[in-house]
A and B are shown apart, each in its own frame.
Chain A
Amino acid sequence: MPTLNLMVLVCLAYVALLFIVAFAADRLAATGRSTWLRSPLIYTLSLSIYCTAWTFYGAVGYAARSGLEYVTIYLGPTLVMVGWWWGLRKLVRVGRSQRVTSIADLISSRYGKSNLLAICVTVLAVVGITPYIALQLQSITLSFSIFFEEGTAGGYNDASVVFWVAAGLAVFAILFGTRNLDANERHHGVVTAIALEAVVKLIALLGVGIFVVWGLSGGVSETMARIDASPIGQWQMNGSRWATITFLAMAAFVCLPRMFQVMVVENDDERHLRTASWAFPTYLLLISLFVVPIAVVGLEVMPKGSNPDMFVLTVPLSQGQEALAMLSFLGGFSSATSMVIVAAMALSTMVSNHVVMPIWLSSQSDRASVSGDVRHVILLSRRVSIAAIMALGYFYFRLSGGGAALASIGLISFAGIAQILPALVGGLYWRGATRSGALAGLTVGFGLWLYTLLLPGLGGGLMPDWVLQDGPFGLSWLRPHALFGIEGLDPIVHSVVWSMSLNVAAFCAASLLSFPSPLERLQGAQFVNVFDHSSGPRGWTGSVAQSEDLMIMSQRILGAREAQELFQREAALQGGRGHLPEPTPLFLERLERELGGSVGAAAAHAMIGQIVGGSSVSVEDLLAVADESAQLMEYSGQLEVKSTELARTAKKLREANEKLTQISLQKDDFLSQISHELRTPMTSIRAFSEILRDTDELSMPEQNRYATIIHDEALRLTRLLNDLLDLSVMENGQVTLNMRDGSLSDVLDRAVSAVLAGAEGSLVVRRRRGSEEVQVRSDLDRLAQVFINLIANAQKYCDAPQPELTISVHDVGGQVVVDFIDNGSGVPEQAQSTVFEKFFRVNAEKAGGAGLGLAISREIMLRLGGDLIYQQGQSGGAFRVTLPLAGQEAAL
């Protein structure tokens, strides 16, 4: 009979072996040469963590108690593997392309990277798995106690054994799961160790089974006869329980964090699923093959009242098969440890990533960028999480009293985890599923599960008996085992029916009623259409082909020569031959940085991910790329705006320059005009004054005439200078206007008499006195000056035989209009546009002035708030003066 010390020694030796295997596998994986490590066989064996101590010990107990119902536990995963392998393939593809690290990560990722959802799933998983971990503790403790009771009598303390088992498993899980921090969360070593454990437990169970069938019963036919005789062989099927538990097993197989870990996260190649789809059901068949014989024989051989959960161990022991018992013990130990390790790893990843790290990061927002530090913190938080999860399991075990059958604890766990299923499957196949829907479904399902299954199942008075009996507050329809008055159902069936149906209903209703955010919508499309977005199945391992792809891509971005130099440099650094470096993480990191310098970090990450990860570009990557391009576009947009501004400024400058040139030309022109106008009278004056001075024999009339010419020309000079000054003052706006009220007819009287008085010529001025009685407010002297100029022009230039000037006054649109129309030929059409220019003269022969009169007049009228224009289409010369009425302020 092995002693406890021996047992502990064997356990430690076994653990050491597992360590060596894991370590070797990790080393092998790091070199990248181990193809068998990535074989579908290892993958299939790793899936066997589905079979925990519950399966190893509990299935026999289950069969001993409830007959063939235990089959449902194996039926569920088999149905999923055979009937839903395409769904699993989608799950694996999504997990790979989204680089998810856990089921919480997957759910959160699908629904717009909602950390709230991740926390929700994490809490649900922790609460759901806690009974399961307690189950492993219980089974190990039980198996220890078997040996202990048989060995030394007395002194056995159940609680302390459980504590030490829990502590030992925690250390074990910490050592295994958090030895190092792998970026992609894949643990080749652990997976290999688990595969080994899978073999051990299969061999152990098969060994016990063979011993029972051939050793105890004496052959297959005898065994069959015994089964037929026993009540287990009776087909007593409870339909609703069957369906419910099969469904739970299916859901748990997909949703259990540890199953998700080995099936999706640790998956190396989605083609492995094809092998697993027949190999894993085969494994399940083998492991369940001898359950019934062991149960039947156990019931016969073992004394009444012995725990059927331990038959696998106690039957060989009772027959003195210590070696077989030891193997069986190791098988059970394997089942428990592998489950605990992977479950703790998966849960700690979730807790650490979604609960601890966000809190830590937000509290350390300043120093979070210190990368070395973060790594340390992540590892620490995972270790603490594992310890905490194990502690929870321990306390659950203490609380529940450890009396419940293994199978029922397992089912409670399954029912809790199954609440994730609607959000998961909905997320994979229904684009309309939203974050609110997932949250609602999870909350409702989780709440109902707590209320109807977990809390009533817990001993220790967490749920008082009267609540179970009469419902809370005496509301009988709220009784945990008979919600809404539906009674008589098995508690498991009752809970699953209610929680799952309301979960699905809440999920669908909230999804339909809420609108997904853009990120959610994009992620939804990425998930539902994952096969359109990601590349086909191929290994995720690095290869030379990838290096070539990377080279081609880099050449496009960096330029051929630069890329070649970079790759050669890296190859030399790796100490390899040839031009292409191995795509190690270090190299990829450097390359990403290098490319990031050219195309932006997000785009570089997405490009390298596309080639190396073989994964599709995630939505986050796409958004980041879009962000960067948006920034670039904005920047180029700004540049464009600047360049248009520059162009506009340049155009303005050019225009200003042209204007200045024009003004300068105009000024030159003006100056030479003035020069001409001044020099012309001066020429006459000089010439005649010299004639008067130098010529002696001039007659008196001649002297008189020449002196008169000199005098007139001098006056002309004076007039010219006055006009110029007038114009200059007017144009500069320095003129002071003497605004007065007055009668228009008075002003016209003054002007007409000033022109006609003492002038030769026959101009007849016609006026209509009646219309002239208009009061105007204006500078009356300036106005008279304009009128004088217009009348004098008519007098000078009207070429009719009997020149006439008609002055008429109208009121047009609140303004006074004075028309001056003569009966001559008028201003020639080509000259009409220039008639108001300075120095314009229609006919030089008749010129009395310098051609400034109309220019000055027009300037005056503009100053007075009116205008002076030439009217086309009249029979003769026609000028129109417009001026505001009295009472209307002149626009100065």
Chain B
Amino acid sequence: MGRHVLLIEDEANIAEAIRFLLTRDGWQVDTHADGSDAVEVVCAAKPDLVILDMMLPGKSGMDILRELRAIDGLHDLPVLMLTARGQSRDRDMAEKAGVSRFMTKPFSNIEVLTAVRDLLAQASRT
């Protein structure tokens, strides 16, 4: 199994922090900051895991997730969703849309690392 993570996040600083963390943990991290073409980017990059911010310019993370889940072969793609809007409604919606893990900002670094590791471990087992 690969260790390729695609990080879709418009906040440059946050993207840099997560990239730093995951790179140090041995993952290959690509970043993308725009929502509008995110689905195409995912399809093209074929990552092992996607970290998706909820509030993106162009298209919301929720819409991107729904579109991804509708694509053949991407049903089981692990998606870790991050949001700064602390609303439980968002969590419910995301779970309905088929999110693998939902995480509220701000998070501790170890939480992100653990989540990524867990998700990839689950993916490799199935």
Instruction: Check B105–A844 contact: CB distance below 8 A.
Output: no
- Give the shortest distance, in Å, between B31 (CB) and chain A (any CB): 13
- Chain A 686-704 per-residue mask, 1 if CB under 8 angstroms from chain B, else 0: 1110110011000000000
Whether the pair A687, B33 counts as a contact (CB closer than 8 A) is no
Q: Is the CB of B17 within 8 A of A679?
A: no
For B15, the closest partner residue in chain A by CB is A684
Could you say which of A673, A676, A684 contacts B17, with CB atoms under 8 Å apart? A684
A680 on interface, CB distance cutoff 8 Å: yes
CB<8 Å pairs between A and B, sample of 11: A677-B84, A678-B84, A682-B105, A683-B14, A686-B108, A687-B17, A687-B21, A691-B17, A709-B13, A845-B10, A845-B57
A672 and B85 form a contact (CB under 8 A): yes
CB distance from A691 to the nearest CB of B (A): 6
- Distance to closest chain A CB from B122 (angstroms): 24
A238 at interface (Cβ–Cβ under 8 A)? no
Residues of A within 8 A of B109 (CB): 687, 690-691, 694
A369 within 8 A of B: no
A676 to chain B, nearest CB (A): 4
- Find chain A residues with CB under 8 A from B33 CB: 845
* CA–CA, A687 and B103, complex, Å: 14
Contact at B21–A679, with CB atoms within 8 Å? Answer: no
Other than the given A675-B84, A676-B83, A677-B84, 5 more pairs (CB < 8 A) read: A672-B86, A679-B86, A688-B17, A691-B17, A691-B21
B64 to chain A, nearest CB (A): 15
CA distance A675 to B11 in the complex (A): 15
Q: Which of B52-104 contact A (CB under 8 A)?
A: 55-57, 83-87, 104
A713 interface contact, C-beta 8 A: yes
- Chain A nearest CB, measured from B19 CB (Å): 11
Given A676-B55, A679-B105, A690-B109: A684 in contact with B13 (beta carbons within 8 A):
yes
Selected from A673, A677, A683, A694, the residue in CB contact (under 8 A) with B107 is A683
CB of A736 closer than 8 Å to a CB of B = no
Q: How close is A210's CB to chain B, nearest CB, in angstroms?
A: 126
Q: Is B18 an interface residue (CB 8 A)?
A: yes
Q: Let me know if B106 is at the binding interface, CB within 8 A.
A: yes
Measured between beta carbons, the chain A residues less than 8 angstroms from B10 are 844-845
A675 and B85 in contact (CB under 8 A), knowing A687-B109, A843-B57?
yes
Whether A683 contacts B84 by the Cβ 8 Å rule is yes
The chain B residue sitting closest to A672, CB to CB, is: B85
**What chain B residues lie within 8 Å of A675 (beta carbons)?**
84-87
Contacts of A672 in B (CB 8 A): 85-87
Q: Check if B125 is an interface residue, CB within 8 A of chain A.
A: no
Q: Are A687 and B85 neighbours in the complex by a CB distance under 8 Å?
A: no
Looking across the interface, which residue of chain B has its beta carbon closest to that of A842?
B57
Query: Which positions 640-687 of chain A face chain B at CB distance < 8 Å?
Result: 668, 672-673, 675-680, 682-687
Residues of chain B lying within 8 A (CB to CB) of residue A682: 105-106
Alpha-carbon gap, A695 to B17, bound state (A):
12
CA of A817 to CA of B40, assembled, Å: 47
Task: Determine the chain A residues whose CB is within 8 A of the CB of B106 once the complex forms.
Answer: 679, 682-683, 685-687
Q: What are the residues of chain B within 8 A of A668 when measuring CB–CB?
A: 87
Chain A residues packing against B (C-beta within 8 Å): 668, 672-673, 675-680, 682-688, 690-691, 694-695, 709, 713, 843-845
Question: In terms of DSSP, what is the predominant structure of the interface of chain B?
Answer: loop
| Distance in angstroms between the alpha carbons of A713 and B105 in the assembled complex | 14
B32-48 interface code vs A (CB 8 A; 1 in, 0 out): 01000000000000000
In angstroms, how far is the closest chain A Cβ from the Cβ of B12?
8
A residues in contact with B87, CB < 8 Å: 668, 672, 675
Residues of A within 8 A of B16 (CB): 709
Taken together as a complex, chains A and B put the C-alpha atoms of A542 and B99 apart, in Å, by 96
List the A residue with the shortest CB-CB distance to B54. A676
Give the residues in chain A near B104, CB-CB below 8 Å: 679
Q: Which residues of chain A have C-beta atoms less than 8 A from B85's C-beta?
A: 672-673, 675-676, 679
B residues less than 8 Å from A676 (CB atoms): 55, 83-85
| Residues from chain A with Cβ under 8 Å of B11 in the complex | 680, 683-684
A845 smallest CB distance to B (angstroms)? 7
The complex places the Cα of A680 from the Cα of B107 at a distance, in Å, of 10
State the CA gap A673–B90 with chains docked (Å): 13
Docked complex Cα distance between A687 and B14 (Å): 8
**B92 CB → nearest A CB, Å:** 14
In whole angstroms, how far apart are the Cα atoms of A687 and B17 in the complex? 6
What distance in Å separates the Cβ of B126 from its nearest Cβ neighbour in chain A? 30
Chain B residue numbers with a CB within 8 Å of A843 are: 57
Residue of B at shortest CB range from A697? B24
B84 surroundings in chain A (CB, below 8 A): 675-680, 683
B88: min CB distance to chain A, Å: 11
Q: Among A684, A690, A695, A844, which residue has its beta carbon within 8 angstroms of that of B14?
A: A684
Q: Which of B10, B33, B85, B107 has the most CB of A within 10 A?
A: B85
Cα-based distance from A779 to B3 in the complex (angstroms): 59
Q: How far is the CA of A677 from the CA of B17 in the complex (A)?
A: 18
Contacts of A688 in B (CB 8 A): 13, 17
Shortest CB distance A712–B (Å): 8
Which of chain B's residues have a CB closer than 8 A to the CB of A678? 84
Contact (Cβ within 8 A) A687 B18: yes
Per the bound structure, the CA–CA distance linking A686 and B85 in Å amounts to 17
Least Cβ–Cβ distance between A678 and chain B, in angstroms? 8
Chain A residues closer than 8 Å to B108, beta-carbon distance: 686, 690
In the bound complex, what is the Cα–Cα distance between A845 and B86 (angstroms)? 22
B24 proximity list for chain A (CB < 8 A): 695
> How far apart are the CA atoms of A690 and B24 in the complex, in Å?
14
Which A residues lie within 8 Å of B56 (CB)?
844
Closest to B16 in A: A709
Least Cβ–Cβ distance between A270 and chain B, in angstroms: 91
**In the complex, which residue of chain B has the Cβ closest to the Cβ of A674?**
B85
Return A23 CB to nearest CB of chain B, in Å.
102
Closest to B56 in A: A844
Q: Is the CB of A680 within 8 A of B17?
A: no
How distant is B37 from chain A, measured CB to nearest CB, in Å? Answer: 14
Q: Which B residues are CB-close (under 8 A) to A685?
A: 106
User: Which residues of B sit under 8 angstroms from A677, Cβ to Cβ?
Assistant: 84
Residues of B within 8 A of A690 (CB): 108-109
